[in-house]
Amino acid sequence: MPGATSRISGALLLVLAAGCVDAQINRLGPNRPARPEGCSVDLFPDGKPPYPVVDVASGTVSCSGKRERCLDEIRKMACTVGADTVYGLAESADGGFTHIRATYGYAARERP
């Protein structure tokens, strides 16, 4: 449902909690089927991609440890929400945790 904030479902939340990771997702657009685990995801940390995208979610991933760990979780979340693109990363850190907010979308049409 667009605009509804939802926590990640039980099993996935348990997996994330075991690794000191928390994720919150806010659905923005059309619900999409999940993509396969390990799916290909384009990351654009500094802005929008050079192709049109349809936003499906935004969210924040918080993790202990290295930034790369959070990026791995962002890629996993993208697959879960049916996205192939993640952009506009906003990062902060406090108390040994890294927090990254991002927008998740999918390519609106075939790329050149």
User: What pLDDT is recorded for position 110?
Assistant: 54
**Count of CB atoms situated within 10 Å of the CB of 22:** 18
Q: 54 with 29: CB under 8 angstroms? A: yes
73-101: per-residue pLDDT in tens?
999 999 999 999 999 999 999 888 999 99
pLDDT at 15: 40
For the entire predicted model, the pTM comes to 0.78
DSSP assignments along 36-97, one per residue = PTT---EEETTS--SS-EEEEEEEEEEEES-HHHHHHHHHHHHHHHT-SEEEEEEEEEETTE
**Cα separation, 46 vs 27, whole angstroms:** 21
The predicted-structure confidence for 3-24, as pLDDT tens digits, reads as follows 444 443 433 443 444 457 888 9
Angstrom distance (rounded) from CA 58 to CA 46: 15
- Read off the pLDDT of residues 42-62 as tens digits, 9 standing for 90 and up: 999 999 999 999 999 999 999
For residue 17 the two structure tokens come to 């909690």
The end-to-end CA distance of the chain, in Å, is 32
